[in-house]
Structure 1
Amino acid sequence: MTTNLYQLEPIAALATAPGIGAIAVVRVSGEGAIEVTNRLFRGKDLTHQASHTAHFGTLRNDDGSIIDEVLVTVFQSPKSFTKEDVTEISCHGSEFIIQQILRRLMQEGVRLAQPGEFTQRAFLNGQFDLVQAEAVADLIASDSDASHRAALNQLRGGFSRQLKALRQQLIDFVALVELELDFGEEDVEFAHRDKLRQLMLDIRRVLHPLIDSFSTGNAIKNGVPTVIVGKPNAGKSTLLNALLNEEKAIVSDIPGTTRDVIEDELFIDGIRFRLIDTAGLRQATDQIEAIGIERTQQKMRDAALVVYLFDAKNVESGELQTAVDEVRASGKPYLLVGNKLDAITDATRELLETMLGEPVVWISAAKQTHLEELKSALSARVRTDAAVQTGSAVVTNARHYNHLTGTDNALARAVTGLDSGVTPDWLAMDLRVALQHLGELTGEITTDDLLESIFSKFCIGK
């Protein structure tokens, strides 16, 4: 078929998850993909069928024996995921059948695809930019409503199209600034400085919300590390078991029972929380407990959210105030949770909230009361779902974050230099750095090593 795309040698791979199932799909893409599949297929002549049509028939060995009854879907270039000629062979999900089909394809000159090679070809053929390509892997790996929405937003363009447009405007200005270097002795100014300054400020205004969203986006993608801390016997393990609805942690009246970190996951409002039960914070009585307490403190430093749980029945106000002040001083988002609500009066509850100066989520972990209120408070404290629900761009990828901050830093230097009257060569240097970061972010500037690093993390068949 005539096309203005560069079609690479045909590749094939299993596009569905490995293992025995009702059906499996083998994808073939590249120059001659339809012709190669047609040579194995007995049914309609696939080379004369319209794009996006499915055809029933059999796939044959070279001796004419039947491998399987299949359904072959034809996608003609450029109207396919890779923008190449593509066939998708739906067969029965037998590992033996799949291997026989791949063997026959290789006999016809098709090679096995590398991890992520289909998506890499889609990127190289201009189907989408690099940010969108990476979103394909994120979409496949999404395991919550929030991560699914974030990946889908990126796949649809997210912030990359806006950045590409701004980058092009910046390129135009850089060309003018560099033109000035050719007339260095004539003191000419082709790039209007006020307009350049405004453009840089406009780009930074776009960058800042994206940069700020990374902590939220990282939590969306990888789960929110939520550490439960408090004194021994505050009910941390009981709370973990109640939230998970299973006996995950050992519960005992003996202080210091939990000596190591216990982790599990809980989904709340489409957000994945990585709940971490820890050793109680107190003066250790032995070396093993001391190690557990040190791990607790490390988990607090690494956490995205801290739940400070205290025993409302047996609490000393000064000690509680000191502990809460330490949690606040950590700078981490936190929730104060009072346990054993059933054992205190309303007056005691109001007194404790007044002393702490902020609301407390009151529960009874042992009786599993008000746990839904706690879950709602956790969801509200993270504040991720609203950003994803409204379609706001959220940065979930560390590579994107690094290039966004690199762009912002370069533009900040350029604005400062512009205001202080630096020479065009110094100004151009910072602008080039900003352009490099933006280009690598969206894939307008790539290297083989960069593409290898990104696409090698994809699954084979995608």
Structure 2
Amino acid sequence: MFSLERDQDTICAIATSAGAGAIALVRLSGEHSIDVVRSIAPFIPVNPESHKIYYGYLIDPSTQQEVDEVLISHFAKGKSFTGEMSFEISCHGSPLIAQQIINCLIQAGVRLAQKGEFTYRAFKSGRIDLAQAEGVLSVIESQSAIGSRMALRQLRGQFSTQLHIIEDQLTWCLSRLEANLDFAAEFIEFAAVEEILERARSAQLNIQKMISSYKLGRTLRKGLKIALVGSPNVGKSSLLNCLSKQERAIVSPIAGTTRDVIEIDINIDGHSVTFADTAGLRTTQDQIETLGVAKTVQTIFDADVICYIADAIRTETFSLPEELFNIDKPVIHVMNKADLPNNMSLSESVGGLDLFIPLSAHTGSGLDILINKIREFLFVQHEENSIVITSARHYELLSRADEHLSRAIALLIDNASPEFIISEMNEVLRACFEILGKQYDDEVLDRVFKDFCLGK
């Protein structure tokens, strides 16, 4: 994706979202950026001050025509996001004007940046480590206020600081183990096994706390996804419309009306929650409806929480379908149509009715109870300033570190040869180094930066 040969290029990209707006921003970074900028913006001095904004008209060198009235911010080498000399050109928010500026820069010898290349250069220059680089994307993708704050802490280096603490603990253990090994013949012990065990267990506790935060972290970053599931005609689409406060899904007394998955996003106390209306679960000969049921099963698999909906006047709908028998996910039980007159005593005819939230998608009665139940999944207890991981890469590497550290601790307890303990602890350090980017290969960088956008 990136190459050493191209790292010396001066790069540019539009940093603002596609489409018209009040302002568009074009970023420029690289050793030759001052010469390029002065070729299209002659009002920029030969030695511009860092963190100063210059005003003037940008000129197309090929036609000598004015392109736009702009503001140009300068960031000196070592003081910019990338660590290189950088400029940011603020122009009017027409996509045409922004593209004209890009064309002028390319004509002047600048290369269009690849996705995430500005952040990649910040990493390569040592301005940020790899975990912080991933924090940039986490901030951009965060779907909740809490998730945004957690991503910002990662970007600021709090996650990295925790890893450095673990590194220090393990380095201390390794230095003592190696010293004990080197002077074994002289019967000199530089640290008792109990001391090394104490440090190793402390490091493992920190690692395991971060591992256990992953599920919460993913929810806070991506938002909570809830699948509305049940038999045909229990009111799943009506509930979706009630939640969205508009007619998003077609409602009909004909069973099997919903064929495709329809999703809405709502905000609950600063958290993004996606509700997915699904086709009713039943065996059918209708090929199109069968495809809809297959999509329902996939949605159940993808969801974080299942909202199972039963019909208050159809007792057969209160039994969970086989698709939900062995699923390891929380299930919210809802009894819809609770406002309809019903002569049968449900409390006597249906076992476990107390599990169900009585609700009417038609009147909205009981909706507040459902929302409060959903809040339980959003506000999982965590310390406000604790480290919460959101990256699958971090989770995999920390899990690997935990496995090797468990082996090292077991070997210490068994009074095994120091060589074996040292080998296991080095693997733990290697996992930490990979998270921080102290050790990496091109495949790792491709995984980290593939989801970035142009201009970031």
TM-score, normalised via structure 1 length: 0.85
What amino acid is aligned across from residue 398 of structure 1 in structure 2?
A
Question: Whole-Å Cα distance in 1 between the matches of residues 92 and 75 of structure 2?
Answer: 21
Tell me if structure 2 keeps the 8 A contact 1:46–1:74. no
Q: Give the structure 2 partner of residue 276 of structure 1.
A: 276
Paired with 2:95 and 2:326, the residues of 1 have a C-alpha distance of: 57
For residue 368 of structure 2, the aligned residue among 350, 356, 372 is 372
1:199-214 to 2 correspondences below 5 Å: 199-214=199-214
Residue type of the alignment partner of 1:268: I
Structure 1, unmatched stretches of 5+, are: 1-6
**Structure 1 residue aligned with 2:406:** 412
Change (3 A) 1:294 1:366: same
Q: Summarize the Cα distance change of 1:280–1:89 in structure 2 as closer, same or farther, 3 Å threshold.
A: closer
Amino acid paired to 2:366: H
- 91-100 vs 196-205, which moves further: 91-100
Q: Say which SS state the counterpart of residue 17 (structure 1) adopts.
A: coil
Aligned partner of 1:455 in structure 2 is 449
> Contact conserved, 1:363 with 1:369, CA < 8 A, in 2?
yes
Task: Give the paired residue count.
Answer: 448
Letter in 2 for 1:369: S
**Identity across aligned pairs (percent)?**
38
The equivalent residue for 2:388 is 394
What's the RMSD between the two structures over aligned residues?
A: 3.2
SS of corresponding position for 2:22: strand
1:41 corresponds to which residue?
A: 41
Give the Cα–Cα distance (whole angstroms) in 2 for the partners of residues 261 and 143 of structure 1.
Answer: 21
Distance 1:327 1:240 in 2: 20
1:246-265 matches, cutoff 5 A: 246-265=246-265
Give the 3 Å change call, closer, same or farther, for CA 66–249 of structure 1 in structure 2: closer
Alignment check: 8 A CA contact 2:33 2:87 kept: yes
Structure 1 residues 230-309: aligned runs within 5 Å: 230-282=230-282, 284-286=283-285, 288=287, 292-293=292-293, 295-309=295-309
Task: Tell me by how many angstroms 1:157 deviates.
Answer: 2.3
Contact 1:353–1:360 (CA under 8 A) maintained in structure 2: no
The corresponding residue for 1:3 is none
* Matched letter for residue 419 of structure 2: D
**Alpha-carbon distance between aligned partners in 2 of 1:381 and 1:308, rounded to the nearest angstrom:** 16
* Alignment CA distance shift 1:22-1:233 (3 Å): closer
Q: Which residue of 2 aligns with 1:174?
A: 174
- Preserved contact between residue 13 and residue 113 of structure 1 (Cα < 8 Å): yes
Structure 2 vs 1, CA of residues 97 and 111 (structure 1 numbering), >3 Å: closer, same or farther? Answer: same
* Distance apart, 1:250 and its partner CA: 3.3
Q: Which moved more, 1:86-95 or 1:325-334?
A: 325-334
The answer to whether the 8 A contact 1:407-1:437 is kept is yes
Query: Mind listing any 5+ residue stretches in structure 2 that lack a counterpart?
Result: 1-6
1:53-88 deviation digits (Å, cap 9, x = unpaired): 111122234365433322111112322212222111
Give how far 1:314 is off. Answer: 3.2
Q: CA deviation at 1:398?
A: 0.7
What pairs up with 1:33-432 in 2 under 5 angstroms?
A: 33-43=33-43, 45=45, 47=47, 49-62=48-61, 64-182=64-182, 189-282=189-282, 284-286=283-285, 288=287, 292-293=292-293, 295-315=295-315, 320=318, 322-323=319-320, 330-343=327-340, 351=347, 355-356=351-352, 360-383=356-379, 387=382, 390-432=384-426
Deviation string 1:244-273 (CA, Å, 9 cap, x unpaired) is 233333323334444554434333222222
Return the alpha-carbon distance in structure 1 between the equivalents of residues 102 and 11 of structure 2.
10
SS of residue in 2 equivalent to 1:343: coil
CA-CA distance at 1:408 after TM superposition? 1.0
